[in-house]
Amino acid sequence: MIIRTILVIAAIILAQLLVASDESSAATGEKNLEPSQAYSENIAVIFLPGIFGSKLTCTAAGKYKDALIWGDGHYGGDGLSLEDCPTAKAELLGRAEVNNMSGFWKRLFGRLAGNFSDLNVYSNFKDNLSFSTDAAVLSFPYDWRRSNAASASDFDDYICSEFSEKKYKKYIFVAHSMGGLVLDAWIKTSFAKSEKCKDGSPMPIDIKQVSYFIFGGTPFLGAPEVVTSMFSGDNSMTRDRYFRMLFGDTLIEDAITFDSVYELIPFTSIMKSDCKAYQANQTKRIIEKVSVTGDRSIMNLSLVNTWQQMSIPRRFPESLKANEYEYIGKKIESASNVVCERLSEDVGEPIRAKYRYVVGKLRKDNTFENTTAVLGSATLNQSKVEFQTTLGQGDGTVPEWSAMNGIGTSEMNQPSQNTHDHIYDDISIMSYLQNSVSSTASAIGLIQKIGSENIDKEQFDKYIEDSSEYAGFLDNDSYAELAKSLSDAAQRSGIDATDIYRYSRGNSLPDAQRALGFSVAAYSVGLNDRSKAFSWINSAELNFKMNNPSRSWFLSQKGLADPASQAVNDDQLQARLNSILGKSRLYLGDYGGFDDLDNAADAGWVKAGENKAAIAKRVGVDLYLDSASIRTMAPRT
């Protein structure tokens, strides 16, 4: 709180200084902006909030039409159930003010109301990012009670209508918590599948315009706390305040009508056994039934009988009690299908390479410890239920493995030591977002600046040095466009491609500078085939060394497709490209599909012999694996 207050005060002072600066420049009609700020207006950041993060006003005909059912002091009670109000208008919830609650609601919520007052403070996030970057920060509020599939369909409509006229050069999608499930569903069911909107018009955004899809604390594979809350019957066992809200005495009767809640159950527990994603991950048991003899069996929550036998959820609305488990059966059937479809779809490597994960890593390793609960009258066929949630670090709500989409590597995430609801308040995460925007803007500005000018070698080297400082924050398409523009400028100005290659081989230069230099050389005209092939290799290897597997994958793929590389009869060269491509794919979450790498990698390393160790030592990291190692290498956790 103290740090946040200091930041707010600093922002106010900075704003006053900027206003004074603008006033002083008004006489000349000029606006003093850094190059990155000047081009930030070409970038749109689209934000999707999490559960509870949208204010809801009922739009359904009947008793609650036009009534505010969530937000501005209304947090539970009449009208929030989907049975009472099936449709609602959503607006971004900036700040949840407990002080606006009536005395009755304050007493009913007790300490929980105080906790919730600080949840989902998205206004600060939007204002800070917009103020510090000058980018257009937009938001997509949605009815978080409904299925994430339905919200994804609404998001598709939003994209097609909102950006049919508004045009930006680059888009950065940022999602928090369940908003990431909406974004992921939209990508897989719409964006990755079709270039058209529902009305047949062209999709206004294509993949090359997207810098990143950033997911903050998104429970891709579910959140075990949901089950702990629903099953335990003792709300005090639930450490997380999100689920204390959902399944506390105030909201539980409303929460069991929310389709989205069932879609938060850990995936191996809610999906049916015939689902493709279940078959690939059935060993990842999250919730198990433990008998008195110690035997364990997975608890299948896709079967309504499981719910009925265990008398869960612990309370139903009076209006549903006559057909309570028939109602539950329809909910879990729908959730099972939605989760199965989302997790079974593969977006492909070009899109997957743009996924970034903001992952909570609280200092305690036991953030998700075992929770054991005895249900009902303490027996269920002489068994107890143990919730297996010893899953390592997390943000207190979503474990790390779920927020990382099951990839299990550290190279694709931005770690935060903040709790789930404050994950975007983390200064390091805000800095990462700011750098993503400003770097993209800087690249846009530099590309425009050098579009037609002639430059000398000294200027060219300076451009390489300066742009390499932010190149790591660029998406692959922007990086390629930057490298091509620098290559074109060099060729236009008479700078020899061989000189660029030699410049990049300088071991005294920083790795980022060398990597960009090699990329520029690879895109250049006039370089011999062998040097061009090694430009791709060196750039890919250096990017992998700098923990950028998506860039490494991108460049190694480009290298393999380049006729120059194909023309070089060198098994070792081909093996290096194939090996770094294979390992990059592994780090991107592609654990299969390596058949196409076998022959080149294996044949190449047989001939490389002792050179393999020397190459790895020179690069400074063990990049090289034969196909068998690539296949069997377990993802790192």
Tell me the average pLDDT across 467-474. Answer: 92
Helices and strands (DSSP H and E) totals, the chain: 29, 14
pLDDT at 291 exceeding the cut of 80: no
pLDDT at 456 exceeding the cut of 80: yes
pLDDT the model gives residue 398 = 85
Which residue did the predictor score with more confidence, 635 or 246?
Answer: 246
pLDDT at 286 exceeding the cut of 60: no
The identity of residue 428, as a single letter, is S
Burial of residue 366, with CB atoms counted within 10 A of its CB: 0-12 exposed, 13-18 middle, 19 or more buried: exposed
Q: Give every CB contact of residue 224 below 8 A, 6+ residues apart in sequence.
A: 266, 286, 287, 368, 387, 389, 391, 399
Which residue did the predictor score with more confidence, 234 or 93?
Answer: 93
pLDDT the model gives residue 121 = 52
Of 625, 512, 633, 526, give the one whose Cα is nearest residue 579: 625
* Complete DSSP assignment for 27-56: TTT-----HHHHTGGGEEEEEE--TT-EEE
pLDDT at 335 exceeding the cut of 90: yes
Which residue did the predictor score with more confidence, 366 or 197?
Answer: 197
Q: Return the minimum-mean-pLDDT range out of 4-13, 45-54, 347-356, 436-445.
A: 4-13
CA dihedral 570, 572, 577, 583 (to 10 degrees): 160
pLDDT at 31 exceeding the cut of 50: no
What is the overall mean pLDDT for the chain?
Answer: 75
pLDDT the model gives residue 47 = 95
Tell me the average pLDDT across 40-67. Answer: 92
The identity of residue 136, as a single letter, is A
Which residue did the predictor score with more confidence, 20 or 177?
Answer: 177
pLDDT at 613 exceeding the cut of 80: no
Tell me the average pLDDT across 533-556. Answer: 90
pLDDT the model gives residue 590 = 56
The identity of residue 109, as a single letter, is F
Which residue did the predictor score with more confidence, 579 or 488?
Answer: 488
* Complete DSSP assignment for 245-287: HHHSTTTHHHHTT-HHHHTTS-HHHHS-TTSHHHHHHTT---E
**pTM to 2 decimal places:** 0.80
pLDDT at 133 exceeding the cut of 60: yes
Beta strand 43-48 with 170-176 is parallel
pLDDT at 57 exceeding the cut of 90: yes
Tell me the average pLDDT across 547-561. Answer: 89
| Most confident residue range from 105-119, 544-558, 572-586 | 544-558
pLDDT at 514 exceeding the cut of 80: yes
pLDDT the model gives residue 139 = 93
pLDDT the model gives residue 122 = 73
Buried-state track 276-315, b at ≥16 Cβ within 10 A, e below 16? ebbeebeeeebbebbeeeeeeebbbbbebeebeebebbbe
The identity of residue 140, as a single letter, is F
Which residue did the predictor score with more confidence, 351 or 309?
Answer: 351
Burial of residue 68, with CB atoms counted within 10 A of its CB: 0-12 exposed, 13-18 middle, 19 or more buried: middle
pLDDT at 329 exceeding the cut of 90: yes
Q: What distance lies between CA 463 and its chain's CA centroid?
A: 31
The identity of residue 516, as a single letter, is L
Burial of residue 107, with CB atoms counted within 10 A of its CB: 0-12 exposed, 13-18 middle, 19 or more buried: exposed
pLDDT the model gives residue 368 = 40
pLDDT the model gives residue 107 = 32
pLDDT the model gives residue 235 = 39
Answer left, alpha or beta for residue 484, where phi above 0 means left and psi between -120 and 50 means alpha: alpha
pLDDT at 178 exceeding the cut of 90: yes
In sequence order, what E strands does 293-412 have?
A: 296-298, 355-360, 371-373, 383-387
Q: What are the backbone dihedrals phi and psi of residue 110, each rounded to the nearest 5 degrees, phi first? A: 60, -135
pLDDT the model gives residue 630 = 47
Q: Give every CB contact of residue 370 below 8 A, 6+ residues apart in sequence.
A: 386, 387, 388, 389, 390
* Residue 331 pLDDT level (bands cut at 50, 70, 90): very high
The first and second tokens of residue 6, run together, are 């200091």
pLDDT the model gives residue 603 = 54
Rounded Cα distance, 242 and 244, in Å: 6
Tell me the average pLDDT across 243-251. Answer: 57
Q: Return the minimum-mean-pLDDT range out of 102-111, 288-297, 429-438, 463-472.
A: 102-111
Tell me the average pLDDT across 178-188. Answer: 97
pLDDT at 188 exceeding the cut of 50: yes
Of 454, 489, 299, 474, give the one whose Cα is nearest residue 380: 299
Q: Looking at the DSSP assignment, which residues form a beta bridge with residue 58?
A: 88
* Residue 478 pLDDT level (bands cut at 50, 70, 90): very high
pLDDT at 407 exceeding the cut of 80: no
Which residue did the predictor score with more confidence, 529 or 236?
Answer: 529
User: How confident is the model over 375-397, as pLDDT tens digits?
Assistant: 322 233 334 445 444 445 678 78
In whole angstroms, how large is the CA radius of gyration of the chain?
27
Contact 495/460 with Cβ under 8 angstroms?
A: yes
